[in-house]
Amino acid sequence: MADNGQQAVSVPRKLWQHPNQEKTQMYRFMQDINRKHDLQLKTFRDLHAFSLAHRTAFWSHLFDSASLIHEGSYSAAVDESLTIDAVPRWFEGVRLNFAENALFSRPAAPGRHHAGTTAPVAVGRCVRDKEDGKVAITEVREGGSAVRSVTYGELRAMVGGMAAAMRARGVGKGDRVVIVGANSVETLVVFLGAAWLGAVFSSSSTDMGVKGILQRAVQVNPKLLFMDDAALYNGKEVELREKMAEVVDGLRECSDFAGVVSIRRFAEARDISRVPKAETWESFLAAADRNAPLPEFDRVAFHEPFLICYSSGTTGTPKAIVHSVGGVLINYYKEGCLHEGLGPDSVTLQYTTTGWIMYLANVGVLLYGGRTIFYDGSPFQPDARILIQVAAEQKVTKLGISPRWMFEVAKSGLRPRDMVDLSHLRIVTSTGMVLSDRLFEWFYDVGFPAHVHLGNISGGTDIAGCFGMMNPLEPVYVGGTQGPSLGIHVAIYDSLLPDGVDGKEVPHGTPGELVATKAFPNIPCFFWGDKTTTATTAGGGGPAAPGTKYHSSYFARFRHVWAHGDFCVVHPVTGSITFLGRADGVLNPSGVRFGSAEIYSVIERRFADRVQDSLCVGQRRPQDSDESVMLFLLMKPGAKFGRGLVNEVRLAISADLSKRHVPRYIFETPEVPTTVNLKKVELPVKQIVSGQTIKASGTLANPQSLEYYYRFARVEELVEPREKL
Ligand SMILES: CC(=O)CC(=O)O
């Protein structure tokens, strides 16, 4: 107990601190703000407080220092009197293009996209260097094979050719271009080619099933589909022509759909003569008149769409979340430049498929003139060393991975820092799931060199960015994300309040629901296909106001506030934000509320030798007066599940957390359901064990795994009364 009679708060172990904060881009940005506004901001928290208290000043200064290629001007960054649920427009009057900003350093004279536009420029805090011979992309296939490099000059030529071909086929502003493709140069060329024309791009990975692909693609009524003819995954070449034909068949009902362009993935192109409405990449490109000038970049209004991403939709049709070009560009400048310190010398490797929001982080470094490594395939082929080896060989400065990857590397007994030279590596970001305390410690005690900044980041598809992330001005402690992202009013609200009321902030140290209380630029424009959206432009594109589906997804929980659906706690001393689980998965037995991540971390820390994975959900059926917590354990091959282990787990949870955290039931499971991006999914299992019958979404990697859980809806029939706690 502290002197004042309150419970003393323990400060987690400090793991890292920037050796030279004054050299960081965030620090310099803070000095610019100090000069401009005659202030004395000294710490990250000072800068953060300024970014919230003076939103227009903060975002305008950011816009000026980003020196994005744009036309037009704005009078105020945003109308601060509007609440976030009014979805206010930012930087009205500014027009810009994502592809132009990714490919060029400065604006081109009309019609002359290659002259004098690529030399290094330094404006404000942003330096871009995209000279013709500089390598923009290094492509690495699974297992480290087939490396190819593409320079900025080559990339510009490829994307220009693609934009010209798309234009020849009638693609224009607001049209949707969809790809089912690898993390390859071709996928990026399609993305930037579409963006060049003001079209709206959307990507899915090739390992997604036909149902999942169609659940996404049909909603957006694409004009064109691009699809790889084959894939390499887990050491095997996977044939995709049959899938291609099924996807084309499923798109027949889409009124805008014109056909599929097949992308050759291996030396030999597959014969696509049996795929309806199909043509090859080469024939598609040949449609453009080679002698005609390239199309002009279509600079669209700041708030207009350029990208559609999808919610994981684990219990239904995924939401088609539409992002604005300006919102994503300005936010990525904030995150990449200030929080992560990216620049023209950065080399990034973000492990991702094209179907996850982290695909954006995979291409974002091009905005700075850096180099990106496109790794395609399993990160565990031939074994867990591969990404570490590629990071060392390619002199990667920022590596993006997930807790699952770190867990597997740690489990394999690997010590990356002893394996290879990681002296170039500055940052490792981790996202996708909660990063356990054990992995934080493993990272610095065993895994990576002491100089590397571990950035645990969290946000997601809905905002194409982060609520909680790293910053170079504060130490990294065990647990949570280092702190909030600049310019976003993150708060933790009382999760016991009913829907639709005014929310109430809880004190630091008390878990609750993560919300954003004021508007910020990178919330989605609208949901594609939401019939209640008021569409004003061609193709059903630009909204006057997002519809009710959008509003009920984010604004129905608390009045005038964005509720993100994460259950979190802010550390009272360090200010770090720890994600405890999804708000819809909060466990609530006898009124005690906690997140599933707290249980997972005990299992991971204490039982990693026997338990491969776990899933923890609450069961509440109409006949139940209270919620029962159910924990499912997936055993390692050869390890035995039994009463002894169950007792050990109960004791461990009771000792590490409390008696009230101990699950009522502990069972073995043959499989944990995950999305194709390997995020484990709790909600469908929670619904199933609570007696509902659900429609498995196409986003699940193993939908058949859900079958097993239906028996637990009648749990009384499965356990002896004395087995219950
Ligand atoms: C940044 C993120 O939080 C990515 C995700 O949705 O997993």
pTM of the entire structure?
0.90
Residue 317 has pLDDT above 90, yes or no: no
* pLDDT at residue 531, as a whole number: 76
Between 152-168 and 185-196, two packed helices, what is the crossing angle to 10 degrees?
60
How remote is the CA of residue 586 from the centroid of ligand 1, in Å? 19
Alpha helices in 278-422 (DSSP H): 281-285, 325-333, 358-363, 386-393, 403-411, 416-419
Q: What's the rounded Cα separation, in Å, for the pair 150 and 170?
A: 28
Angle at the Cα of 271 from the Cα atoms of 265 and 272, rounded to 5 degrees: 90
Our answer on whether the CB atom of 431 is closer than 6 Å to any ligand 1 atom is yes
pLDDT in tens, 401-438: 999 899 999 989 999 999 999 999 999 999 988 899 99
Q: What is the pLDDT of residue 499?
A: 94
pLDDT of residue 568 exceeding 50, the answer is: yes
466 lines ligand 1 (CB under 6 A): yes
* ipTM for the whole complex: 0.92
What is the rounded average pLDDT for all residues in the chain? 92
pLDDT at 115 over 80: no
Model confidence over 444-479: pLDDT tens digits?
999 999 999 999 999 999 999 999 999 999 999 999
Q: Which numbered atom of ligand 1 lies nearest the CA of 679?
A: 7
- Mutation pick for ligand 1 pocket among 310, 358, 485 (CB with most ligand atoms within 8 Å): 358
Burial of 230 from C-beta contacts in 10 A (0-12 / 13-18 / 19+): buried
Confidence of residue 112 (pLDDT cuts 50, 70, 90): very low
Ligand 1 neighbour 355 (Cβ under 6 A): no
Whether the per-residue pLDDT at 72 is higher than 60: the answer is yes
Question: If you measure from the C-alpha of residue 91 to the centroid of ligand 1, how many angstroms do you get, rounded to a whole number?
Answer: 26
| Cβ 461 under 6 angstroms from ligand 1 | yes
CA end-to-end distance (rounded Å), the chain: 31
Give residue-wise pLDDT tens across range 236-263: 999 999 999 999 999 999 999 999 999 9
Mutate to test the pocket of ligand 1, among 357, 401, 467, 680 (most ligand atoms within 8 A of CB): 357
458 lines ligand 1 (CB under 6 A): yes
What does the pLDDT look like over 522-540, one tens digit per residue?
999 999 988 777 655 434 4
3-state secondary structure 283-306: HHHCCCCCCCCCCCCCCEECCCEE
Q: Which atom of ligand 1 is nearest to the CA of 677?
A: 7
CB-based contacts of 83: which residues, under 8 Å, 6+ apart?
518, 519, 560
Distance 711 CA to ligand 1 centre (A): 32
- The predicted pLDDT at position 590 comes to 82
Give strand pairing partners of 371: 347
How far is residue 646's CA from residue 157's CA, in Å, rounded to a whole number? 61
Q: Work out the pLDDT band at 160, boundaries 50, 70, 90.
A: very high
Mutate to test the pocket of ligand 1, among 331, 362, 434, 458 (most ligand atoms within 8 A of CB): 458
Percentage of the chain with pLDDT > 90? 79
Question: 462 alpha carbon to ligand 1 midpoint, in Å?
Answer: 9
**pLDDT reading at 180 higher than 90:** yes
Q: pLDDT tier at 118 (50, 70, 90 boundaries)?
A: low
The neighbour count for residue 560, using CB atoms within 10 Å, is 14
Q: Which of 88, 45, 91, 38 is nearest to 64 (CA)?
A: 91
Nearest CA to ligand 1 atom 4: 460
| pLDDT, mean of residues 436-443 | 94
- Where is average pLDDT lowest: 45-54, 160-169, 228-237? 228-237
Q: What pLDDT is attached to residue 616?
A: 96
Q: Is the CB of 214 under 6 A from ligand 1?
A: no
Confidence of residue 636 (pLDDT cuts 50, 70, 90): very high
Is pLDDT above 50 for 654? Answer: yes
The amino acid present at 358, given as its one-letter code, is M
For residue 588, pLDDT over 90 is answered with: no
Distances (CA, A) of 645 to 116, 502, 609, 651, 688: 68, 45, 12, 10, 25
- pLDDT for the residue numbered 535: 55
SS3 156: helix
- Separation of 402 CA from ligand 1 center, angstroms? 10
pLDDT at 121: 61
Is 282's pLDDT higher than 70?
A: yes
Task: Give the residue whose CA is nearest to atom 2 of ligand 1.
Answer: 460
Per-residue pLDDT of 497-506, as tens digits, reads 999 999 999 9
Look up tokens 């000095």; give the residue.
31
Atom of ligand 1 nearest to the CA of 433: 7
Looking at the DSSP assignment, which residues form a beta bridge with residue 109?
A: 112
User: pLDDT, tens digit, for every residue of 672-688?
Assistant: 999 887 788 999 999 99
| Chain Cα centroid distance, residue 590 | 34
Q: Give residue-wise pLDDT tens across range 407-417.
A: 999 989 999 99
| pLDDT given for residue 7 in this prediction | 53
With DSSP H G I counted as helix, E B as strand and the rest as coil, what are the percentages for the chain, rounded to 5? 30, 25, 45
Q: Quick one: which atom of ligand 1 is closest to the CA of 358?
A: 4
Q: Which two tokens stand for residue 358?
A: 């982290």
Is the CB–ligand 1 distance for residue 465 below 6 Å?
A: no
pLDDT computed for residue 534 by the predictor: 66
Res 1 pLDDT > 50: no
What is the structure's pLDDT at 126? 59
- When pLDDT is cut at 50, 70 and 90, the band that residue 113 belongs to is low
Is the model's pLDDT at 333 over the cut of 90?
yes
461, 514, 566: residue to mutate for ligand 1 pocket, most atoms within 8 A of CB? 461
User: Which ligand 1 atom sits closest to the C-alpha of 458?
Assistant: 3
Using a pLDDT cut of 70, give the percent of the chain over it.
93
